[in-house]
Amino acid sequence: MTVRIEVEVNPTESEEKVRKAILNIFGDVPIKVEAAHGGSVLTVEVQGQNPLGTFRNVLRRDHIRDAARRALMHSLRGNVFAFFLNKQAAHAGHVSFSEAEAESPLGPIRVTVETGEPLSLVEWIAPKTAKD
């Protein structure tokens, strides 16, 4: 399994605050910094599900597992699911999914997960809690 996280840091933003947003949602992950378009891009590429454990815990704490499950299932394409998170919410330690970059004025956190068992992984991240 590969987890890739990418977020642009605009010239008007604090790189440390954007770094904190990633760490709040995905735990202690190795963040690389690259220069880009007057700002920078922070990227994380990790083998294994460790960063998703922290993400899973935030979803549980915020009581949004059912909404997260819908968002993750909606983003599923073959063995990959990709989704966007709001940077400002992540900086505050919360998960807020966004559909497109236009919804997040500072740009989103882009997360791509490639795995051989995507449905099992979604079930682990966000198990169903609502009664049908």
48 backbone dihedrals φ, ψ, rounded to 5° = 105, 170
Q: Average the pLDDT over each of 17-26, 54-63, 89-98, 100-109 and give the range with the smallest value.
A: 100-109
Asked whether residue 129 is domain-assigned, the answer is no
DSSP 32: E
Asked whether residue 128 is domain-assigned, the answer is no
Output the pLDDT for position 129: 85
The DSSP code sequence of 85-122 is EEHHHHHTT---EESSGGGSTT-EEEEEEE-S-HHHHH
Asked whether residue 130 is domain-assigned, the answer is no
Write out the residue range of the structural domain in which residue 92 sits: 2-115
98 against 65, higher pLDDT = 65
Give the domain CATH number at 42. 3.30.1440.10
Give the separation between CA 95 and CA 92, rounded to whole angstroms. Answer: 9
In contact, 41 and 8? CB cutoff 8 Å: yes
pTM of the predicted model, to two decimals?
0.91
Asked whether residue 132 is domain-assigned, the answer is no
Give the separation between CA 107 and CA 56, rounded to whole angstroms. Answer: 22
Task: Select from 59, 75, 73 the least CA-distant residue to 26.
Answer: 59
Asked whether residue 91 is domain-assigned, the answer is yes
Asked whether residue 25 is domain-assigned, the answer is yes
Quote the number of domains for the chain.
1
Query: For all residues of the chain together, what is the average pLDDT?
Result: 92
pLDDT band at 131 (very low <50, low <70, confident <90, very high): low
Asked whether residue 87 is domain-assigned, the answer is yes
Output the pLDDT for position 21: 97
pLDDT over threshold 70, residue 32 = yes
Output the pLDDT for position 101: 62
Asked whether residue 131 is domain-assigned, the answer is no
* pLDDT tens readout for residues 71-124: 999 999 999 999 999 999 999 999 999 876 655 667 899 999 999 999 999 999
